[in-house]
Amino acid sequence: MSSAAFARLLVMENCWDLLEWLGLDTSTTVFMCLDDPADIVRASAVSRSWRRFVIASGFSKNLCLRICPEASNFTHITEVSSSQEGVKVGSSTAIEWESLEREHKVYTYLSYCLVSPKGKRNCIIKAIRASSTDNYPDESILNTLEPREEVDARPSYWSSGGEVDPGVPETLTYRLVSKLCIIDEIKVQPFQAFFQPGDPIYSAKSVRFRMGHSRLSQGTGTSVTEGYANSHGAANDNYNWTYVSPEFPMVQENVLQSFKLARPVICIGGILQIELLGRVQRQATDNLYYICVCHVRVIGRPLSPVLDVDVSEEVGNSVLKYFPDTSAVDNEAREFQWHAFAARIRNLGAWSGWNQEFLNVLLRPVTVSDDEDGSDEDKFE
């Protein structure tokens, strides 16, 4: 028997509370090693004392910050309900505990979304602007939303303006489907000009990605630059960026190239910008360098309607809004708790000599594998 199993048996036989046995400091150190949000939920389902310990210690928030540092931009969480309730009256301790419970629930859900493969889709809803456009509207950024390479027998792509200097960068800026999206992959396809001699490919040397919010859209939903997809000039002063990726090399090939981020990133504010760095192809007719892109996809998971955000002009001072009427957070918590319960029953069966095959049949209907078709996703979207 291993030392861990012996200690566990000793605690069970003597009906000790492991938290009391280890002490507060050691228990905190152990819990801080948990790196799966499901483990946090399982721990909180062990007993009332464990639940209070997990919630009061803020382990779910700590784990969320470790998975995605952008979550540190949320100064606090506010609950938005359709039911019109009066101002709650109670002791400061009760109000503080309610706030801690809400924080635990929301950060557990957020952590789950960060690590779960469910719900991924193309998150672009609108093309905002390009830093330059050669021939508008024929070569507009709007064309990058079209997955086909040809539309009405014409090639579909965006083209930058021509430059003598191959080091001049370009940017493509998009609005995402939600002000809060978890993004882990961006796909960009350079354009190959089959109608030019040699079929040149106008790719960039490398790409970089920025995520954040518009300074001009607070409380309005749109900015003054949106809708002007052919607007020129640098407009980064109009945005606050909460995340900037490292550079990714781009190959000079006419394929949808995937750029996988090192970790999932929360886009706070719903704006994503693609920086196209360095030009490699010169056009024979005017001897100028161009960058052309025919398609862009941003792969991730929108967090609406469960979560939304009120972004502030000051970076790092945003309010995370939780909408309990959507019930996705509660459903997710219940699913986590059921799996925690099922794990405990299996474990008790192992200790008590229960028939393991019987336990598997008994608990099987609630396992995740039964819903591989994704139908359960409706609970969380």
**Mean pLDDT, 10 residues at a time, the chain of 381 residues:** 46 62 82 89 87 93 95 92 58 86 94 92 97 96 94 94 98 98 98 96 98 73 42 65 97 97 97 98 97 98 95 81 73 51 48 45 40 37 37
3-class SS of residue 61: helix
**Of 106, 101, 109, 99, which is closest to residue 37 (Cα–Cα)?**
109
- At 201 the pLDDT is 98
Q: Could you identify the residue written with the tokens 């800026």?
A: 173
Q: What is the pLDDT of residue 328?
A: 53
299 close to 184: Cβ distance less than 8 angstroms: yes
Token pair 């960026």 is at which residue? Answer: 241
Residue 351: strand, helix, or coil: helix
**Structural tokens at position 182:** 């978890």
- What pLDDT does 285 receive? 95
CB burial readout 343-361, b (16+ within 10 A) else e: eeebeebeeeeeeeeebee
In this prediction, residue 22 carries a pLDDT of: 78
Query: Rounded to an integer, what distance in angstroms lies between the CA atom of residue 320 and that of residue 190?
Result: 37
